[in-house]
C-alpha cells in the first residue's frame, strides 16, 4: 500500500463538510466521504492535531451514497454533498448543529429540531457569482480556490437565471467577474460586472436586465437600467442594490420568515429590534405585528434600501452606523429582537448592547454553525436559555447550515 494511504472508518461529518475519522490518535478530515463508511484515503497534510486526506477508495459504502448529478462535482468548489442522498444531508446538518452546540457552545442536549428541507433541492439559487475565463467563458473556482473551472451548467442555480447568464457574451470584454442576481417572484434581473482596470464593457443588450460595473473600491456605475432589482416576499416588495446582501434561496427565505414570526409570539404591543437588518426583510415583514420596529445595520447603503422598502411603515425606524453607538442610543424598552448574525459572528458590542436592553425573546439567525456555537456562549452568559434551534436548508447540496435559534430571558 502507498505509504501515505491509510484505512479508516468514518464516524461523523465535520462542520466544513468533510467526513471525519481517526488514525493514530489524530482526527482525519476526508472530503467526499460519508459517516459510516470504511475507506482508503491518501494523507495530503499532517498537522499537529489532525490529518487531511484525499479519498481514494470506498471499501464499505454508506447506504446514503448516490451518484452526483452534476458532472463538475468534485472539481468545482460550489457543492460538497451531491454524493449524499438529500434526506441524509438534512440528518447530517442536524447532527452538526447538535455537535457544535454541545462541544463548542457548552450546551448540554441542545433542543435541535428536525431540519426543514426543500421539496426540490435543485435550481434554488436566485443569484450566481461567476469567474470569467480568458476567452469570456463562465466558471467557478475549484475546490482549492486556486484554478478556474469552466462550467456549462450549474444545477443549484435557477434554470431561468442560468439560461439568461449564458446569453451574455463576454469574449474580449476584459471582465474577470460577473454576478447575476434575480427576483424570482418579480423576474427582475441585475447583472454586476467587475473588470480589469475598472473599464466598462461595451454592451449590446437584447435582454430586459439592469447592468452595473462595480469598481475595485466598491463604487457602482450604472450601465443600463437601475443599480438595483426587486423581490417580493408576502405582500411587500424589497429593493436590493448591487452592494446589498440578500439570501440566495427565496423559497427557503419565505419559510424562514414564518419560523421567525412563530418563534417571537408577537401580540402587537412590542418594540422589535432588527439587528444587522440588511435591506429590512424581517423587521419590515413583521412591522404590522408590533408597535415599533428599530432596524440597525452598520452599512449605510443597505439602510438606504431598507428605508425605501419600509416606506409606509410609520412605526419603523432605520439606523445606519456603528452598532455599539446605535444600540446605546436606544432609550425605550425592547421586547423582542432578531439578530441576523454576520458570517463571522457578532462583535462583542452586540452582547453588551443586548445585555443592557434585555429583550424577553431573541431569535438568532446564523449561516455559520461555528459562529453560532461561539455566540451561543455569549447569549447564555447574558441570562438567556436556548428554547429551540431550527435548522433550515438554505443551501442544499452544500455543507452550509442555516439555523434560527430562539432564546428567552431567564433572569
pLDDT band at 174 (very low <50, low <70, confident <90, very high): confident
Instruction: Write down which residue in 205, 231, 257 finishes a domain.
Output: 231
Q: What is the pLDDT of residue 52?
A: 95
Residue 384 scores a pLDDT above 60: yes
The enclosing domain of 221 has a CATH number of: 2.40.50.1070
Residue 198 makes CB contacts below 8 A (sequence gap 6+) with 213, 215, 216
- Stretch 110-116: mean pLDDT: 97
CA distances from residue 161 to 69, 154, 184 in whole angstroms, order as listed: 19, 10, 9
pLDDT given at position 165: 87
Per-residue pLDDT band at 411 (split at 50, 70, 90) = low
Average pLDDT (371-391) is 96
Chain segment 331-365, per-residue pLDDT in tens: 999 999 999 999 999 999 999 999 999 999 999 99
Tell me the HSE value of 136 on the side-chain side, using a 13 A CA sphere.
11
- Is residue 10 within 8 Å of 20, Cβ to Cβ? yes
The pLDDT of residue 206 is above 90: no
Q: Give domain status of residue 152, yes or no.
A: yes
Mean pLDDT of 206-231: 92
Residues 110 and 54 in one domain: no
- Whichever domain contains 35, its CATH number is 2.40.50.140
Do 286 and 181 fall into the same domain?
no
Residues 191 and 317 in one domain: no
For residues 378 and 63, give the distance between their C-alpha atoms in angstroms, rounded to a whole number.
39
The string of pLDDT tens digits covering residues 269-326 is 999 999 999 999 999 999 999 999 999 999 999 999 999 999 989 999 999 999 999 9
End-to-end distance of the chain based on CA atoms, in angstroms?
A: 60
CA distance to 249, 295, 341, 385, per residue, from 402 (Å) = 11, 22, 11, 20
* Average pLDDT across the chain, whole number: 93
State whether 198 and 177 are in the same domain: yes
- 39-87 pLDDT, tens per residue? 999 999 998 889 999 999 999 999 999 999 999 999 998 999 999 999 9
323 found inside a domain = yes
Q: Is 184 domain-assigned?
A: yes
Give the CATH number for residue 349.
3.40.50.150
Q: Point out the domain boundary residue: 200, 231, 262.
A: 231
Examine residue 70 and state whether it is found in any structural domain, yes or no.
Answer: no
Do 188 and 287 fall into the same domain? no
Are 253 and 326 members of one domain? yes
Q: Is the pLDDT of residue 1 over 60?
A: no
Residue 99: CB atoms within 10 Å: 20
Kindly report which listed range (55-64, 204-213, 284-293, 366-375) carries the lowest average pLDDT score. Answer: 204-213
Kindly state the helix (H) or strand (E) to which residue 254 belongs, with its residue range: helix 250-264
* Percent of the chain with pLDDT strictly greater than 90: 82
- Residues 372 and 271 placed together within one structural domain of the fold: yes
Q: What is the pLDDT of residue 205?
A: 65
Find the domain containing 348 and state its range: 91-119+249-409
Question: Do 306 and 169 belong together in one domain?
Answer: no
As a whole number, mean pLDDT of residues 365-380 equals 95
Length of the chain: 411
Beta bridge partners of 230: 239
**Is residue 237 domain-resident?**
no
Partner residues linked to 222 by β-bridges:
212
Are 272 and 221 in a shared domain? Answer: no
Q: What is the number of domains present in the chain?
A: 3
Do 287 and 399 share a structural domain?
Answer: yes
Residue 263 covered by a domain: yes
Q: Are strands 50-60 and 127-132 parallel, antiparallel or unpaired?
A: unpaired
Average of pLDDT values for 186-213? 85
pLDDT tens digits, one per residue of 125-157: 999 999 998 888 899 988 877 889 999 889 999
271-275 β-sheet, strand order: 316-320, 292-297, 271-275, 336-340, 361-366, 402-409, 384-392
Both 98 and 166 in a single domain?
Answer: no
Tell how far CA 57 is from the center of its chain: 32
pTM of the model: 0.94
Amino acid at each position: 500500500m502507498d505509504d501515505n494511504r491509510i484505512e479508516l472508518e468514518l464516524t461523523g461529518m465535520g462542520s466544513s463538510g468533510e467526513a471525519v475519522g481517526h488514525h493514530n490518535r489524530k482526527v482525519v478530515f476526508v472530503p467526499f466521504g460519508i459517516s459510516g463508511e470504511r475507506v482508503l484515503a491518501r494523507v495530503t497534510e499532517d498537522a499537529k492535531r489532525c490529518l487531511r486526506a484525499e479519498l481514494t477508495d470506498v471499501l464499505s459504502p454508506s447506504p446514503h451514497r448516490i451518484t452526483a448529478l452534476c458532472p463538475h462535482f468534485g472539481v468545482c468548489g460550489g457543492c460538497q454533498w451531491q454524493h449524499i442522498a438529500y434526506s441524509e444531508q438534512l440528518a447530517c446538518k442536524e447532527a452538526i448543529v447538535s455537535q457544535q452546540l454541545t462541544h463548542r457552545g457548552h450546551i448540554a442536549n441542545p433542543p435541535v429540531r428536525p431540519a426543514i428541507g426543500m421539496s426540490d433541492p435543485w435550481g434554488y439559487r436566485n443569484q450566481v457569482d461567476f469567474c470569467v475565463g480568458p476567452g469570456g467563458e463562465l466558471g467557478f473556482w475549484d475546490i482549492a480556490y486556486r484554478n478556474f473551472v469552466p462550467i456549462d451548467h450549474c444545477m443549484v442555480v435557477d434554470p431561468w437565471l442560468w439560461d439568461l447568464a449564458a446569453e451574455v457574451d463576454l469574449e474580449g470584454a476584459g471582465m474577470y467577474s460577473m454576478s447575476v442576481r434575480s427576483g424570482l417572484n418579480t423576474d427582475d434581473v441585475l447583472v454586476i460586472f467587475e473588470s480589469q482596470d475598472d473599464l466598462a464593457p461595451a454592451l449590446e443588450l437584447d435582454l430586459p436586465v439592469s447592468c452595473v460595473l462595480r469598481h475595485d473600491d466598491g463604487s457602482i456605475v450604472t450601465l443600463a437600467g437601475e443599480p438595483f432589482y426587486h423581490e417580493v416576499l408576502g405582500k411587500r416588495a424589497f429593493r436590493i442594490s448591487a452592494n446589498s446582501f440578500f439570501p440566495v434561496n427565496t423559497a427557503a427565505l419565505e419559510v424562514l420568515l414564518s419560523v421567525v414570526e412563530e418563534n417571537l409570539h408577537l401580540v402587537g404591543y412590542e418594540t422589535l429590534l432588527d439587528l444587522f437588518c440588511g435591506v429590512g426583510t424581517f423587521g419590515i415583514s413583521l412591522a404590522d405585528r408590533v408597535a415599533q420596529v428599530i432596524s440597525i445595520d452598520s452599512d449605510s447603503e443597505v439602510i438606504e434600501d431598507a428605508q425605501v422598502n419600509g416606506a409606509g411603515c410609520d412605526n419603523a425606524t432605520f439606523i445606519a452606523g456603528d452598532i455599539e453607538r446605535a444600540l446605546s442610543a436606544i432609550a425605550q424598552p425592547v421586547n423582542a429582537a432578531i439578530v441576523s448574525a454576520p458570517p463571522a459572528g457578532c462583535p462583542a458590542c452586540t452582547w453588551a448592547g443586548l445585555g443592557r436592553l434585555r429583550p424577553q425573546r431573541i431569535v438568532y439567525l446564523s449561516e455559520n454553525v461555528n459562529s453560532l456555537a461561539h455566540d451561543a456562549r455569549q447569549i447564555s452568559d447574558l441570562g438567556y436559555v436556548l428554547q429551540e434551534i431550527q435548522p433550515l436548508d438554505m443551501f442544499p447540496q452544500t455543507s452550509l447550515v442555516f439555523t434560527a435559534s430562539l432564546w428567552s430571558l431567564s433572569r
